[in-house]
Structure 1
Amino acid sequence: MSGTTPAWGSEDADARDGAWGAGDLLVTGEAVALDLPAASLGVRVLSGLVDLVAQGVLLVLGLVLVAIAAPDDALAAAGSVVVTATTLVLGPAAVETLTSGRSLGKLVLGLRTVRDDAGPPSFHHCFVRHLVSVVEVWVMAGVPALVSALLSRRGKRLGDLVAGTYVVRDRFALRLPWPVTMPPPLAAWAARADIAPLPDALALTVHRLLGRGEGLDPRAHERLLLHTAAEVARHVAPAPPQGTPPGAFLAAVSAERRARDERRLRGEVAQRQRLARRP
């Protein structure tokens, strides 16, 4: 890296491994953590009861229709198997796939099934969830599901553990913080600096330090600023002016990254508009 590097401290293991780690959070392009909150056990139980009642009604109606329409016992048995599999496994899996993880009960109570990476579940995920639920919910009266949900950090039942999914609250307010302000003395330097993409965990650490660092012990906050600034400096060239405080350096990098992203997005929108106007 060219230029004179500010005298920031060396790496601090306690700071690196402290309370600002990314954990299981999702990180947006602006280093905003999106922690999709797992649904509480009580709400999940209510949602499950709604689904169980709906499935039970459909199952009884289907079995009655098969018993009336089937000409012999063999066809009645085969029809019963088809109705049971469709009502308890195939139908619910198809519904959750088409609705991005929502069943009737989840729709009523504002819940949604997602993958462990918070993406929408595929048919495979939903099929495995409901296949396991035949045993843990219908055969064993939901006892294994309840025990597993109590022990799991995300309230997962056995079907979720096998399928790699969990249930989240679909109705919650997402509050985005105000963008970081560019320190005026560093605006000219940041405009010409080469800022490489930051790893998600590091970008999230910067965002949290600038947004909520005042809640930390002052000495711990200073150590974290020094360590994080040294880590970010590896992705920036040239170095900021000598004597730049680490907090100001981090604010300048964060603000410039946001400004460049906004300019890039505006350029892409303008280009699409120009292309759309061409005959």
Structure 2
Amino acid sequence: MENRISVTTPEFVNLEFETAGVGSRALALLLDWLILSTAGLLLLIPASLFMGLSEIVGNPFWSSLIIAVFFFLFLFLPLAYYVLTEYFMNGQTIGKKVMGLRVISDQGTAPGFLAVFLRNLLRMVDNLPLLYLVGMTAVMIHSREKRLGDLAAGTLVVSLRGQPMPQIRFLYANGEPLFASRELSPVTEQQWMTLDRYLHRREWMTPAARQTLAAKLVIVLFPDMKIEPGKEEFYLETAYIQLGPYQEHPYFMQL
């Protein structure tokens, strides 16, 4: 059964998501475990080689040091994997990406490093007593299907596999551009996603709500531009067209 929730972003955009249930999260976790197991086996190769060399040398100090180093690597490999992938892959591990899942904050934005670190640090608690029994129980009883790590970090896992968004229907910006792209202030990826979602979903809003939200978005996303009252949607459409795909445009900045 789908569990759909609504969140309000810092830009006052209401977004609807489908939370990820136990089944899809378990499959994503299994894929990540397979990756971690493979990485662990690969680590055994240099570990065995170094141990063999240390025995040939016959120095107990080097043997102890090598054991300590590889023990540390094996111990922290899972935490490093989950933290680095979720942070640098925009809320996804490889397993989550395959399963179409993503970690977001309670405000619908990409989680920060501290939130990602905290939710993954608490995996050891969610994993108790074994096979994520505590975590799965929490997911099943929580209204937003959160495990303990999500509760502590203020995050949730959502499914990206739903009906595709409708195509954007441009209402105003079909003629001459309102301004050149060089006039735009730099925007972050999250701000670009907010603009994209607004233009996709605005036709579901009342005219008054659309106008109010458009005015707020112009102030938040492009504070340096002076816009004639009533032309905010025209401006947002033009900005969207001028910026083009996020990854290809120089007027975006990284968080």
Contact 2:7 2:108 in 1 (8 A): no
Q: Select which of 5, 11, 23 maps to 1:42.
A: 23
Question: Equivalent residue for 1:87?
Answer: 77
Query: How far did residue 170 of structure 1 move?
Result: 2.1
What is the letter of the counterpart of residue 7 of structure 2? Answer: L
Partner Cα separation in structure 2 for residue 67 and residue 44 of structure 1: 34
Q: Structure 1 unaligned runs (5+)? A: 1-22, 180-206, 213-249, 273-279
Query: Highest relative contact order (Cα 8 Å, sep 6+), 1 or 2?
Result: 1
Question: Equivalent residue for 1:160?
Answer: 150
Change (3 A) 1:113 1:256: closer
What is the letter of the counterpart of residue 165 of structure 2? Answer: L
Contact 2:10 2:107 in 1 (8 A): no
Query: How far did residue 96 of structure 1 move?
Result: 1.4
Query: How far did residue 28 of structure 1 move?
Result: 9.6
Partner Cα separation in structure 1 for residue 136 and residue 98 of structure 2: 21
Pairing 1:116-195 to 2, within 5 Å after superposition: 116-137=106-127, 140-172=130-162, 173-175=164-166
Query: How far did residue 256 of structure 1 move?
Result: 6.1
Partner Cα separation in structure 2 for residue 53 and residue 99 of structure 1: 19
Question: Equivalent residue for 1:112?
Answer: 102
Question: Equivalent residue for 1:261?
Answer: 232
Contact 1:32 1:176 in 2 (8 A): no
Pairing 1:39-78 to 2, within 5 Å after superposition: 39-70=20-51, 71=54, 72=60, 73-78=63-68
Q: What is the TM-score of this pair, normalised by structure 1? A: 0.54
Contact 1:28 1:34 in 2 (8 A): no
Partner Cα separation in structure 1 for residue 28 and residue 77 of structure 2: 17
Change (3 A) 1:63 1:164: farther
Change (3 A) 1:144 1:178: same
Question: Equivalent residue for 2:253?
Answer: none
- Residue identity over aligned pairs, in percent, reads 24
Contact 1:88 1:130 in 2 (8 A): no
Contact 2:9 2:109 in 1 (8 A): no
Q: CA RMSD in A?
A: 3.9
Partner Cα separation in structure 2 for residue 90 and residue 55 of structure 1: 10
Q: List structure 1 segments (4+ residues) > 4 angstroms apart after TM superposition.
A: 175-179, 254-259, 266-272
Cα deviation 1:73-106 (Å, max 9, x = unaligned):
4223322332124421123211211110111111
Flag the structure with larger Rg: 1
Question: Equivalent residue for 1:97?
Answer: 87
Q: What is the TM-score of this pair, normalised by structure 2? A: 0.58
Aligned residues: 184
Partner Cα separation in structure 1 for residue 64 and residue 234 of structure 2: 69
Partner Cα separation in structure 2 for residue 62 and residue 133 of structure 1: 22
Question: Equivalent residue for 2:175?
Answer: none
Partner Cα separation in structure 2 for residue 147 and residue 263 of structure 1: 48
Q: Structure 2 unaligned runs (5+)? A: 55-59, 171-200, 215-229, 244-255
